[in-house]
């Protein structure tokens, strides 16, 4: 995928099973070995009440987010959010995150991010998320996952 021209409009829309291969390509480009495998992405695509949104530019999927309400915890969770590296820096991650928060309609939202992912950490902090917990050795390579949370108010 070539860089997305800054002038190309970006649209946020529901993602479907038909977007699975494009979403897989975005996940692989954004996360490398941390990308969800095809079976996991298929599970996300088929899970009832899962919020799945894609960002498109120039007719191509350039971003994806999935989130759900965790009934046990009584909050929303962002399961994955990815923007293709060639499309980063255009506000696509922010747009996907905010659209998912609205679609989930929860009073608060949580997510987990690699401790070393400074770009994502900066995005989440700009969007009002704060660190609340650490999952020690959360990722397969042993790196910690930071749990971040945002309170949205009464819902």
pLDDT by residue (tens digit) across 51-85? Answer: 999 999 999 999 999 999 998 988 999 999 999 99
User: In the predicted model, what is the mean pLDDT of the chain?
Assistant: 94
Q: Indicate whether 31 belongs to any domain.
A: yes
Q: How many domains does the chain have?
A: 1
Ramachandran region, residue 137 (left: φ > 0; alpha: ψ -120 to 50; beta: rest): left
Q: Indicate whether 69 belongs to any domain.
A: yes
pLDDT at 5: 62
Domain with residue 146: its CATH number is: 3.40.630.30
CA–CA distance, 21 with 34 (Å, rounded to integer): 17
pLDDT digits (tens, 9 = 90+) for 13-50: 999 999 999 999 999 999 999 999 999 999 999 999 99
Q: Indicate whether 4 belongs to any domain.
A: no
Element containing residue 66 per DSSP (H, E) = strand 60-70
Q: Indicate whether 3 belongs to any domain.
A: no
Q: Indicate whether 83 belongs to any domain.
A: yes
The two beta strands, 108-114 and 75-83, are: parallel
Q: Indicate whether 5 belongs to any domain.
A: no
pTM for this entry: 0.92
The two beta strands, 145-151 and 60-70, are: unpaired
pLDDT digits (tens, 9 = 90+) for 111-143: 999 999 999 999 999 999 999 999 999 999 999
Range of the domain at 102: 10-151
Query: C-alpha angle with apex 20: 16 to 25, nearest 5 degrees?
Result: 135
């Amino acid at each position: 995928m070539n860089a997305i021209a800054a002038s190309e409009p970006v649209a946020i829309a529901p993602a479907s099973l038909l977007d699975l291969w494009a979403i897989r390509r975005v996940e692989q480009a954004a996360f490398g070995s941390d990308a969800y495998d095809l079976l996991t992405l298929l599970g996300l695509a088929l899970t009832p009440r899962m919020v799945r949104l894609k960002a498109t530019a120039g007719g191509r999927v350039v971003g994806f987010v999935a989130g759900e309400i965790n009934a046990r915890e009584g909050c929303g969770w962002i399961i994955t959010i990815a923007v293709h590296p060639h499309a980063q820096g255009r506000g696509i991650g922010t747009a996907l995150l905010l659209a998912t928060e609205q679609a989930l309609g929860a009073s608060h939202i949580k997510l987990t991010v690699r401790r070393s992912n400074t770009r994502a950490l900066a995005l989440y902090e700009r969007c009002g998320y704060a660190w609340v917990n650490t999952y020690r050795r959360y990722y397969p390579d042993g790196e910690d996952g930071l749990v971040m949370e945002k309170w949205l108010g009464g819902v």
